[in-house]
Amino acid sequence: MNLPVRGDSEMDERAPVDLIHLSDGEDVSLVLRAVGPPGVLLGPIRAECLIRADFVQARLDTHIWPDLLDEWEEALVRLGAGEGAGWAQGGRGLRLYFYPSDSGRLSLSVHDPDRLTVALGLEPPPQWIEEHEIRLRRMREVYGES
């Protein structure tokens, strides 16, 4: 499968890695991008959450906590089974919620308690779960987890 995964193995190891990249291809998107320097997963990875819709355009500085990557993997399993899932980046940090519908649409909720709460809806491509499993593996490769 040839995916447009930012930071894939053919790209520079210092390139940002999109752990989450959901888009309807037109107006709505949610991207969680690791931008902190690659290396061993010992502490939080500097990241940005990019949100775009016709009513909002936001960039939130945040962190991806390495010990929560397993929780993201579990969330992907639940989403693949058609269940809703949430993923929080610790404490008062960024929280993402995903609600799939039978029609193939995905409702998203982005909550940052100090800055923004927004709900989005989009129709991701059919293989989006598999793409995000690849993104998760890439994140682990670039940031040092074996």
Q: Could you tell me the pLDDT band of residue 146, with boundaries at 50, 70 and 90?
A: very low
pTM: 0.86
The predicted-structure confidence for 33-43, as pLDDT tens digits, reads as follows 999 877 655 67
Q: How far apart are CA 35 and CA 15, in angstroms?
A: 8
The predicted-structure confidence for 29-73, as pLDDT tens digits, reads as follows 999 999 987 765 567 889 999 999 999 999 999 988 888 899 999
Question: Is the pLDDT at 144 greater than 90, yes or no?
Answer: no
Q: Which residue(s) pair with 118 in the sheet?
A: 110
Residue of 34, 8, 28 whose CA lies nearest to 106: 28
Q: Would you state the pLDDT for residue 71?
A: 94
